[in-house]
Structure 1
Amino acid sequence: MSTAGWRHGARLAGAGVVALGTVLALTGCFGASTDVDSDADGDFADDGCTSVVVATSSEKVNMLDALADAFKESPQHEGLAECATVRPINVSSGDATRFLTAGGDWPDDDARRWPTMWSPASTVWTERVAAAASASLVGEPESFTHTPVVFGVPETMAKALGYPGSEIGITDFEALCQDPAGWASVGKPLWGSFKISKTNPNTSTTGLSAILMQSYEASGKTVDLTAADVAAAAEFSRVFEECVIHYGDTTGKVLNTLYDETQNGSGGSGYVSAVALEETSLLNYNQGNPDSHTVQPGETLTPPKEKLVAVYPSGGSMWSDNPITVLGADWVTEVQATAGAAFAEFLQTDAAQQILPEYGFRPLDESVALGDLFTAEYGVDPAGPAVTLPKPSVDVVSAAIDQWTQIRKPSSVLEVIDISGSMDEAIGDGRSKLDGAIEGAQSTLGHFRSSDEVGVWAFTTGVSSAAGQNIVVLRDVSPLASDRESVDSSLDDLRFADRQGTPLYDAIAAAYEEMTARAEPGRINAIVVLSDGQDTDSTISLDSLIAKIGKESSEGGDDAPVRIFPIAYGEGADTGALQRIAEATGGQWFDASDAAKIDLVFASVINNF
């Protein structure tokens, strides 16, 4: 396909999906970042130089900022006909892959932010775009740094497994998942079940690497993984997935929750036992930057009370090889492409390689010293991993992703949608807030398997149902089966509903009671809340709601916790309250303050299920 044909192809249809069996409350406010993160992405004002935007994953933004500054002083920059300014922006590897393969323009209203270059975490993603769209679109990717995929384990828990003297493998984690005694099987009954956090392999490099590492482990291989090996590993991986607390779109959101629990509790946390992540993310966490955000001048980082230590699985680790390439998209000018190629060349130089370890990345040049950050003090072993697992072929990667779709942990999600009067407000693209919420919820349905449980409630004052006052039940929580069209139609009916007040807290309390009564171990039990405003009509206070939903989230936890994922929709949303509600249950909040991007936010939410 030509780049022109690619650009004018399909445009981001079906980007988001919402899981059922979780309680979903849609209230017009979101508390998490959208796919293209505009926060702390630098000054895009015209400085007289050629602008070279690099779309990259969050953990590389700080490093690329430093490399961009050094580039200005390099011979590669001096060789350009005019000056160039490199500007990194945060876009997850999986999301960038989706944008590039879907066709159309880059999904950002500000064309100044459309990327000249792309630096995903792994060449797995560039190969997928080349196969699905066009090889010319991804140019000639070349790695400039790398970091291994490890399991971050709270140090106290790691020591209970024999760290640092004993080897720990994925099989050991799988055994803890399979054993009903959980932590009690290694003499720690108070810690409850063994809990793993992994990201969604459709959007995250670590999530993708983790499922491939599971297949390597089950096969006993360290090279030449095949699609047949992946198929044979299905039961091993299914058991491993049963330990997952919920999937996330980024590691940073999981680490933020862990960090907050660690800092605000007794120092430990029952939220998670092991997190699949890149070594560089673990180093950021242990320095007090759990989401690997761009550190601002004067910002003080506070290390966690309980650090994570890197477990390099005895069966081997995959590496994120971090390529960079000049895109062959038709919005990239010849001058930008030339400047981008010069920056890519600079990244291979000794001057650039010397900068990488300062930001938790390993240089390709092994003669470059790793420095003080790569030490046990920060939870890592500079000699690890002992075994490197090679990246499989594209067909094997596709087989692993397809298998995960079938064996991932089942979900039970309740979506709770605010239909109060303020949802009639326009969002600037010809749609109202309610239109955006309905279409976002509809787009999530294709994500669920027929066996996943999905329910939909709406809330405002002046209505009632079997679920209680101020609640309308569009669909009881039950297996989705073949009901996608009927759920789609029921969501459309909300456009004609009478819209009055906002009993947000009451609706969440009722949804939580419903979901806890039916929650089962072995499922992701969740509530998704979408709201665009502040509570105006509840009988329960925020503090009372937090006390109600947070009592089962203490250390050890429940075997069937219900987590809440609020979406703060629009500028009037009470983001502080929604964040507190999410944190009380170990969920995550999502920020859709730009209501026009609700489709992207829904896609982010659905990755958890």
Structure 2
Amino acid sequence: MSRTQGAPSRRPTGSTRAARRRERQRSSRRVKLVAGVIPVVFVAAGLSIVVATGGVGAALNTAALTCLEPTRVRVSTTEDFLPVLRKVATRVQADTNNAISCTTYDISAVPPAVAVSQIAGDGDERPDAWVPDSSVWVQRVNAQLGGDAPPRPVTVAQSPLVIAVPQERAARYAGARVPSWEDLLGGSAPVRWSNPADSTTAMMALTTARKALGSSPAMQEDVGGAMIRLSRTAADSTDELFSEASANKAAAPMFPASEQQVVQYDLQHADALLVPVVPTPSTGRLDYPFVTLATQQDAVGKAVRSLRNALTSEAGHRAVRAAGFRTMEGTGGPTPTPGVPSPAVRLLPDPSLKEVDAALSTWTTVSKEMRMIAVIDVSGSMTARSDGASRISIAQGATDTALRIFPPRSQVGLWAFATDKDGPGKDWKELVPPGELSAPSTTGTQRDALLRANAGIDALVGGDTGLYDTVLAAYQRVKEGYDPTRVNSVVILTDGQNDDPSGLTLDQLLAKLNELSDPAQPIPVITVGMGPSADASVLEKISRATGGRSYIARRPSDIKTVFVEALLQRSCRPSC
């Protein structure tokens, strides 16, 4: 909205915005009666069209109903739920329209994210009622509107999340072999995702998987690794995956979908059927809340309430079930055999907006390609043993795990460090320069070269901990080849404190890092301390100076989890 130059910018209050919306809605719905022209409402194929009598009116006269006071109600919903709303709205019009007053329900499919912007904004596109495909979207609107949030919605339908499996392969995942969310994320039941940023189904499936697996560090490590893999093969949309199923039939990948989406797909693709498999032990759902946005006590508000009441009536439930949805009581859904009810589905509690945003944040983080140097401490203290293994062997195991889960286009290099490791005064030694993991090397790929170098890193153990000089050198190396299309970072794994009296002091290192840092080219240094000798305070200062984060693994058994977590969280600093 343009403002007079020099005038102070003032954001309208919630009550002011609401008053403006009501006035615009009233203005947009006024119909001027011109002499000789009478508005006519047509109801045809579930759509209402307001036109003037004349040529068009004569052509559609059999469906015409004339009224003096037409009311237009704008309703937004999803593509999946659009047919249900149109069917129910047509019945409401047939029952309530008369020669004096009649309602036109203008129902359209609007992506939920777009609808959120329309509802939270101050424009003319705000609908009078809204039925998204998840209550999470309502939570997002409420978070933006605050005290101006709409009344509590009424959920009018639901559909459990399932895995769509080509019929030819469905027997592999039946009975005791029904996959769990852990199987699906872990790869034992291969599945392809769609982008959760653009698909409510994928967004809720991702959140459901995280919720089902629990919040233990080991489980979240598995989830993070799975997200890295899934993000590299993700489809742009769930529609794309259904198109693949139609084209590739038995060879098509399994993928998360709603039960209703599978039901509707199967009605049109008898030659490439999909079977909805409900993951064990429980699953999430898409729910369809009816949100009343026209709260005024006028014809529009009355028409919105009439539509809501019709959806929650028995006739409305029949329309919901006929479209493949389940009612809030759980009735409906597919019936594999005539007369046999749909199997019971155990549902997880609906996620909060915070849980959904956490899942999306992790996906966004790991789906961006990286450019990183991993720097491993090989000082003499790394031979210390605990729980039957040396620190260096534990570090090697953690690095091996990380290198194997990184996607092919990641650029990774490997250094080792201890005092004078590559000659007098040079505490770091480059074992493998940064390169794309899938790129060919002299014997295999870059990933192969990294794995081999890591496997032999224990032969380099010896010397003291030359930490500060190494941190600066690694930071400078990443900065020299900074790639703005990637997450650029340094990951340091160490078990001790700086022991190089001839090198930089901590203050000198922090001053250098501050001098080199550029907000336009962030390079977080992520530090991982292992064992009781690691100086947590120093590592925290180094990481904080670069927008990174410091992790401490107090027990050797924690090192693998902590190191992989650090790598997975590499790009969200300093905002997370």
Q: Report the Cα distance in structure 1 between the residues aligned to 2:15 and 2:362, rounded to whole angstroms.
A: 31
Counterpart secondary structure, 2:194 = strand
* Superposed CA offset, 1:215-266 (max 9, x none): 12221xxxxxxxx66996254243145135654564224313432x13xxxx
Counterpart secondary structure, 1:105 = coil
CA contact (8 A) 1:146 1:364 kept: yes
Q: Report the Cα distance in structure 2 between the residues aligned to 1:354 and 1:275, rounded to whole angstroms.
A: 28
Q: Could you tell me which residue of structure 2 aligns to residue 269 of structure 1?
A: 251
Q: Could you tell me which residue of structure 1 aligns to residue 283 of structure 2?
A: 317
Q: Could you tell me which residue of structure 2 aligns to residue 45 of structure 1?
A: 50
Q: Report the Cα distance in structure 2 between the residues aligned to 1:8 and 1:215, rounded to whole angstroms.
A: 42
State the 1:63 CA deviation: 1.3
2:352 corresponds to 1:382: no
TM-score, normalization: structure 1? Answer: 0.48
Question: 5 Å matches for 1:218-229?
Answer: 218-219=213-214
**AA aligned opposite 1:211:** L
CA contact (8 A) 1:41 1:87 kept: no
Q: Could you tell me which residue of structure 1 aligns to residue 272 of structure 2?
A: 306
**AA aligned opposite 1:214:** A
Give the alignment partner of residue 56 of structure 1, picking from 43, 61, 77.
77
Q: Report the Cα distance in structure 2 between the residues aligned to 1:352 and 1:317, rounded to whole angstroms.
A: 25
CA contact (8 A) 2:201 2:258 kept: yes
Q: Report the Cα distance in structure 1 between the residues aligned to 2:139 and 2:289, rounded to whole angstroms.
A: 11
Give the alignment partner of residue 346 of structure 1, picking from 310, 320, 326.
310
Which of 1 and 2 has higher RCO (CA within 8 Å, sep 6+)? 1
* Superposed CA offset, 1:116-146 (max 9, x none): 1100011111111101224534333110111
2:113 corresponds to 1:94: yes
Counterpart secondary structure, 2:291 = strand
Q: Report the Cα distance in structure 2 between the residues aligned to 1:486 and 1:7, rounded to whole angstroms.
A: 43
Counterpart secondary structure, 1:45 = strand
Q: Could you tell me which residue of structure 2 aligns to residue 462 of structure 1?
A: none
**AA aligned opposite 1:480:** T
Q: CA separation of 1:486/1:135 partners in 2, compared to 1, >3 Å: closer, same or farther?
A: closer
Q: Could you tell me which residue of structure 2 aligns to residue 258 of structure 1?
A: 245
CA contact (8 A) 1:353 1:364 kept: no
Question: 5 Å matches for 1:178-257?
Answer: 194-200=190-196, 202-219=197-214, 233-244=220-231, 246-247=233-234, 250-257=237-244
CA contact (8 A) 1:238 1:408 kept: no
* Superposed CA offset, 1:260-311 (max 9, x none): x13xxxx4334xx2221111101111111xxxxxxxxxxxxxx242211111
* Superposed CA offset, 1:288-343 (max 9, x none): 1xxxxxxxxxxxxxx242211111110311122201122259xx894322211221
Question: 5 Å matches for 1:335-374?
Answer: 335-365=299-329, 370=332, 374=334
Q: Could you tell me which residue of structure 2 aligns to residue 407 of structure 1?
A: 366
Q: Could you tell me which residue of structure 2 aligns to residue 125 of structure 1?
A: 137
Counterpart secondary structure, 2:242 = helix
RMSD, aligned CA? 4.2
Counterpart secondary structure, 2:349 = coil
* Superposed CA offset, 1:184-207 (max 9, x none): xxxxxxxxxx3412242x443212
Counterpart secondary structure, 2:210 = helix
2:485 corresponds to 1:480: yes
Question: 5 Å matches for 1:426-441?
Answer: none
Higher deviation after alignment, 139-148 or 279-288: 139-148
2:267 corresponds to 1:283: no
**AA aligned opposite 1:176:** G
Q: Report the Cα distance in structure 2 between the residues aligned to 1:402 and 1:196, rounded to whole angstroms.
A: 19
**AA aligned opposite 2:265:** Y
CA contact (8 A) 2:17 2:122 kept: no
Counterpart secondary structure, 2:250 = coil
Q: Report the Cα distance in structure 1 between the residues aligned to 2:342 and 2:164, rounded to whole angstroms.
A: 15
**AA aligned opposite 1:105:** G
CA contact (8 A) 2:262 2:274 kept: yes
Q: CA separation of 1:173/1:482 partners in 2, compared to 1, >3 Å: closer, same or farther?
A: closer
**AA aligned opposite 1:275:** F
**AA aligned opposite 1:206:** T
Gaps of 5+ in 1: 10-39, 178-182, 184-193, 220-227, 289-302, 413-449, 453-475, 488-609
**AA aligned opposite 1:71:** V
CA contact (8 A) 1:168 1:314 kept: yes
Q: Could you tell me which residue of structure 2 aligns to residue 594 of structure 1?
A: none
CA contact (8 A) 1:173 1:240 kept: no
CA contact (8 A) 2:153 2:290 kept: yes
**AA aligned opposite 2:229:** E
Question: 5 Å matches for 1:505-544?
Answer: none
Q: Report the Cα distance in structure 2 between the residues aligned to 1:169 and 1:236, rounded to whole angstroms.
A: 13
Question: 5 Å matches for 1:115-154?
Answer: 115-134=127-146, 136-154=148-166
Give the alignment partner of residue 326 of structure 1, picking from 275, 279, 292.
292
Q: CA separation of 1:61/1:236 partners in 2, compared to 1, >3 Å: closer, same or farther?
A: same
Q: Report the Cα distance in structure 2 between the residues aligned to 1:376 and 1:340, rounded to whole angstroms.
A: 36
State the 1:169 CA deviation: 0.9
Name which one, 1 or 2, has greater alpha-carbon Rg.
Answer: 2
Q: Report the Cα distance in structure 1 between the residues aligned to 2:286 and 2:99, rounded to whole angstroms.
A: 31
CA contact (8 A) 2:370 2:486 kept: no
CA contact (8 A) 1:196 1:275 kept: yes
Q: Report the Cα distance in structure 2 between the residues aligned to 1:336 and 1:249, rounded to whole angstroms.
A: 38
* Superposed CA offset, 1:151-174 (max 9, x none): 111122332x33255322111222
State the 1:363 CA deviation: 1.9
Q: Could you tell me which residue of structure 1 aligns to residue 184 of structure 2?
A: 173
**AA aligned opposite 2:257:** L
CA contact (8 A) 2:48 2:104 kept: no
State the 1:3 CA deviation: 5.8
State the 1:365 CA deviation: 4.4
* Superposed CA offset, 1:552-593 (max 9, x none): xxxxxxxxxxxxxxxxxxxxxxxxxxxxxxxxxxxxxxxxxx
**AA aligned opposite 1:348:** T
**AA aligned opposite 1:151:** I
Q: Report the Cα distance in structure 1 between the residues aligned to 2:250 and 2:243, rounded to whole angstroms.
A: 14
Counterpart secondary structure, 2:251 = coil
Q: CA separation of 1:343/1:58 partners in 2, compared to 1, >3 Å: closer, same or farther?
A: same
Higher deviation after alignment, 402-411 or 390-399: 402-411
CA contact (8 A) 1:80 1:339 kept: no
Q: CA separation of 1:485/1:285 partners in 2, compared to 1, >3 Å: closer, same or farther?
A: farther
Q: Report the Cα distance in structure 1 between the residues aligned to 2:99 and 2:306, rounded to whole angstroms.
A: 8
Q: CA separation of 1:394/1:357 partners in 2, compared to 1, >3 Å: closer, same or farther?
A: same
Counterpart secondary structure, 1:337 = helix
Q: Report the Cα distance in structure 2 between the residues aligned to 1:79 and 1:249, rounded to whole angstroms.
A: 46
Counterpart secondary structure, 2:193 = strand
Q: CA separation of 1:80/1:359 partners in 2, compared to 1, >3 Å: closer, same or farther?
A: farther
Q: Report the Cα distance in structure 2 between the residues aligned to 1:411 and 1:51, rounded to whole angstroms.
A: 52
State the 1:150 CA deviation: 1.1
Q: Report the Cα distance in structure 1 between the residues aligned to 2:17 and 2:290, rounded to whole angstroms.
A: 24
TM-score, normalization: structure 2? Answer: 0.50
